[in-house]
Amino acid sequence: MSTRLFYDKDCCLEALAGKTIIFVGYGNQGRAQALNMRDTLKGAALQPEAKIVVANIDDAYGHTADEDGFCRTTDWTMAARQADVLMLLVPDQVQPRIFNEEIAPTLKEGANVIVASGYNVMYRYLKIAECNDISMVAPRMIGTSVRSRYVSGKGFPCFVSVERDSTGQAWPTALAISRAIGATKGGVIESSCREETLMDLFAEQALWPATLAMFREAYSLLKNLGCSDEALVHEMWLSKEPAEIFEKCADDGFIRQLKHHSTVSQYGQLTGSFDVDTSWIRKHFNQVAQDQILSGKFAEEFTGVERSHDGGIEGRLDELYEQANESELAVGEKKVRTRLGLPHE
């Protein structure tokens, strides 16, 4: 059975009438979604009106919320008491602490907790009372694109799910939120926190790491065969050809985009893709999916780094970047970008 798609006509904004919607966090996604929602609700003429409140500390994001004209509070307890809908949009690694310690104890009974990432719901890191609904509205684009596509009258890819429906109103609310932030113009895809987290972490821990490793190995091999750093950097990514290929994948289709390439390229890519021994890829990918993601091993490791590493996750990332920058690819790219006067730090 095909998964459900929801459009504007399927989502009634009346589900938000008289509701207080709290945005916990005003970063990349928080700002884009709050601005879109405010613009949508202005034209909806709901009676009574919905109220948007931003809950954010006094930092640069909080000051931006003030400049954007939102009612803002730094009192998490008060925000929790008011919330009919709680948009939990702070980073995954700090969500459990903020929610469990500062929001959950006073969260309004029947409130719908809406996440934009399934991570903390799937791994049960959020202590959400049984009387509260749990939903996911997860745009598949960065916040700036969520805003720019809304302003231009376009929708954007987005997943929606209801993980717990204690009130019987979780679906109408989640769909109304999806429409209010502008996602349903192009069709919102029914998903789940498990599916979203599995696909998201799989891309980050299997697909893109394999891509980085292949580029790194290809660079070293071709340099050993006599290719220059300047030629390699331009051929492999600086020309932006890979970005154009992926854009064509989205526009025309993953296979059909090959028609834009030369006949030599089409033949080489198609025959080469069938000649690759993919058994080791499938084995590695399955190990990542089963042993790291679905088992919860990665989530435990990530949480452990945040708690035990001297510099937290940021300190560990600094170490990993230092290691990555020692590769032949990174050293060669730095030389080329310096020569061309391009940013490289």
Residue spans of beta strands (DSSP E) within 205-277: none
pLDDT digits (tens, 9 = 90+) for 210-261: 999 999 999 999 999 999 999 999 999 999 999 999 999 999 999 999 999 9
* DSSP sequence for 23-61: EE--SHHHHHHHHHHHHHHHTT--SSPPEEEEE--SSHH
Q: In whole angstroms, what is the distance from residue 321 CA to residue 331 CA?
A: 13
Residue 46 token pair? 């709901």
Q: In whole angstroms, what is the distance from residue 181 CA to residue 187 CA?
A: 12
Is pLDDT at 345 greater than 90 in this prediction? no
Residue 149: exposure state from Cβ atoms within 10 A (0-12, 13-18, ≥19): buried
Residue 291: exposure state from Cβ atoms within 10 A (0-12, 13-18, ≥19): exposed
Q: How many CB atoms lie within 10 A of CB 112?
A: 29
Please check whether residue 174 is in contact with residue 137, taking contact to mean a CB–CB distance below 8 angstroms. yes
Whole-model pTM over 0.75: yes
Is pLDDT at 307 greater than 90 in this prediction? no
261 Cβ partners below 8 Å, 6+ apart?
A: 269
**What does the chain come to in residues?**
345
Residue 110 token pair? 């029947």
Identify the pLDDT of residue 274: 96
- Give the confidence band of 1 by pLDDT, cuts at 50, 70, 90: low
Closest CA to 328 of 234, 228, 240: 228
Residue 76 token pair? 């998490």
- Give the confidence band of 69 by pLDDT, cuts at 50, 70, 90: very high
